[in-house]
Amino acid sequence: MQTNPTYTSLVAVGDSFTEGMSDLLPDGSYRGWADLLATRMAARTPGFRYANLAVRGKLIQQIVDEQVGVAAAMRADVVTLVGGLNDTLRPKCDMGRVRDLLTEAVERLAPSCERLVLMRSPGRQGPVLERFRPRMEELFACVDELARRHGAVVVDLYGAPSLADPRLWDVDRLHLTAEGHRRVAEAVWQALGYSAEDPGWHTPMPPTAPLHWVARRTADVRFAREHLLPWIGRRLTGRSSGDGRPAKRPELLPYEDQIL
């Protein structure tokens, strides 16, 4: 791959991971790895354009129906696609259907851009990861095969020890913290061929003393009350946190004014 390439545009496709939850800004909006990556790319390339079509809670069928065609029509230099993980977390998941839809998305996006970026999504250490690991790894095997077939780049976040650390995950245990998103942006930055700014993004954080039993149980209760029970409620009623939400940045527009 070209070293320190000159890409003039980026389109991000996906769900809450690409929208940027839980990298919260003071105004209540989310930043996230895709915005951070766009900021870096814009600093190198005058006139750089960026769109982020991601919406939280989207399943792979919704991503294909609502985002893939729009992204392909934009003809951006770089397209990132991360989807399917929300499907694997559902009690009932047809992995054959997920693979087929992901394949459709890649087949439509790959010819439309110079560089398609796929990811093996990160997983937080804990019982949720262990329960759904077989589905996740089946999804990632599909990602690897599609990348080989279509010449896409795969960013392996699942295999990065640092991103499994619970300290890099928000209290909802589903989304990365600001530091987690920063590391993802660095990983994608390097995968695109840019010189590393943080060569150790995948290196585990220094160990700290474990939380006391009472602190762990308090955190578990807060997680169940504020995040787990509402999540279960949405699943039971067929609702999504992304219902009615527009794309984060729906048009491919210049991004210079966003440089931090």
Q: Return mean pLDDT, the chain.
A: 88
Residue 244 has pLDDT above 80, yes or no: no
Question: What is the pLDDT at residue 241?
Answer: 64
Question: Which pLDDT score, from 0 to 100, does residue 259 have?
Answer: 45
For the entire predicted model, the pTM comes to 0.87
DSSP class per residue in 88-149: HTSSS--HHHHHHHHHHHHHHHGGGSSEEEEEE----SSHHHHHHHHHHHHHHHHHHHHHHH
Q: Do the beta carbons of residue 44 and residue 259 sit within 8 Å?
A: no
What is residue 81's three-state secondary structure? strand
Q: Give me the pLDDT at residue 217, please.
A: 63
Highest mean pLDDT, choosing among 19-28, 63-72, 198-207, 222-231: 63-72
- Angstrom distance (rounded) from CA 215 to CA 7: 47
Mean pLDDT of 211-215: 58
In whole angstroms, give the CA distance from residue 185 to residue 203: 15
Q: What is the distance between the alpha carbons of residues 24 and 5, in angstroms, rounded to a whole number? A: 30
Of 57-61, 157-161, 194-198, 255-259, the poorest mean pLDDT is in 255-259
Task: Give the pair of three-digit tokens for residue 168.
Answer: 């890099």
Per DSSP, the three-state class of 11 is: strand
Q: What average pLDDT score do residues 177-197 get?
A: 97
> Mean pLDDT over residues 111-134, rounded?
90
Choice among 20-24, 76-80, 194-198 with the minimum mean pLDDT: 20-24
Say yes or no to pLDDT of 124 above 90: no
Residues 2 and 77: beta-carbon distance below 8 Å: no
Please report, to the nearest 10 degrees, the dihedral formed by the alpha carbons of residues 25, 29, 34, 36 taken in order: -30
Average pLDDT over residues 173-196: 95
Q: Lowest-pLDDT range, 74-78, 193-197, 212-216?
A: 212-216
Instruction: Identify the pLDDT of residue 3.
Output: 77
Read off the pLDDT of residues 40-80 as tens digits, 9 standing for 90 and up: 999 999 999 999 999 999 999 999 999 999 999 999 999 99
CA angle (101, 50, 5) in 5-degree steps: 95
Query: What is the per-residue pLDDT for 120?
Result: 97
> What's the pLDDT score for residue 165?
93
DSSP 76: -
213: helix, strand or coil: helix
Closest to 245 measured CA to CA, from 29, 23, 22 = 29
